[in-house]
Amino acid sequence: MIAPILEIRGLSRRFGGVVALDGLDLAVRPGTVTALIGPNGAGKSTAFQCISGVIRPDSGQVRLDGRDITGWRPDRITGAGLVRSFQIARGIPRLTVLENLLLYGPAQPGEGVAAAILRPAAMRAREEALRERAKAVAARLNLTRVLDNQAAALSGGQKKLMEIGRALMAEPRLLLLDEPVAGVNPSLSAEIASHIASLRDEGMTVLIVEHHMDFIASLCDPVIVMAEGRRLTEGSFAEVAADPRVQEAYMGGRVHA
């Protein structure tokens, strides 16, 4: 058994009287595109927030490559190789796509005003390297032709691609995507799936929350099902889709075909 890249043990989190996570256990194997599904309110986004350090769990552990990262700040977690995108795309609307990507380059030691004054040549070289990286990220996501457009002018699907691009700028080993194709038309959704498959083929691990079952069926293995803050089951898409407990958990919930 290959050691998991991400391991969650007994993760719990309340919001007032609402129990969002109730002892969640899960593991993600390296080199997979793993899905995390479940009905509305199951706790998927809360799990992502705890994993990425945006909020603290009340109890439980998050382990990245066997290392306990529970309670770390988001920037430290990013530096350790774990990056997430948000359910709502967060790019800065008035900046161009290129500028949005440049904001998320990996942090370098010695960055800042002092370095700019003392080591201008090194700063210029770093800026140039960052621009090249942003252009390469845009090229692989088919965003080259809109690089100089304002983010506000992008289609919904292109905004989703830019959001993935921002995450890629940080050079993650583990990428968490929250609803990467929500509101995206089927052809762009298929394009996003093929981009994610290429990232996996290059060695990246991806964990995806999504409600679109066609997208999950075509891309993700395994599929982890959450309900009421816990892991209900895990398997191939066909296995979990045939599981009566999964069907029951979704009754009354929102499931997009």
* Of residues 37 and 170, the one with the C-beta less far from ligand ATP: 37
Minimum Å distance from CB 176 to Mg ion?
Answer: 12
Residue among 45 and 150 whose Cβ is closer to Mg ion: 45
Binds 180: which of Mg ion, ligand ATP, none (CB < 5-8 Å by kind): none
Residues 3-22 vs ligand ATP: string with x where CB under 6 A?
Answer: ------------x--x-x--
51 binds, among ligand ATP, Mg ion, none (CB under 5 to 8 A by kind): none
Sites for Mg ion among residues 34-63 (CB under 5 A): 45
Number of residues that bind ligand ATP (CB under 6 A): 11
Cβ distance to ligand ATP smaller for residue 144 or 233: 233
Find the shortest distance in angstroms from Cβ 100 to ligand ATP.
Answer: 24
Residue numbers 72-131 binding Mg ion by CB under 5 A:
none
105 binds, among Mg ion, ligand ATP, none (CB under 5 to 8 A by kind): none
SS3 of the chain: CCCCCEEEEEEEEEECCEEEEEEEEEEECCCCEEEEECCCCCCHHHHHHHHCCCCCCCEEEEEECCEECCCCCHHHHHHCCEEECCCCCCCCCCCEHHHHHHCCCCCCCCCCHHHHHHCHHHHHHHHHHHHHHHHHHHHHCCCHHHCCCEHHHCCHHHHHHHHHHHHHHCCCCEEEEECCCCCCCHHHHHHHHHHHHHHHHCCCEEEEECCEHHHHHHHCECEEEEECCEEEEEECHHHHHCCHHHHHHHCCCCCEC
Q: Which of residues 27-86 bind ligand ATP (CB under 6 A)?
A: 38, 40-46
**Which positions touch Mg ion (CB under 5 A)?**
45
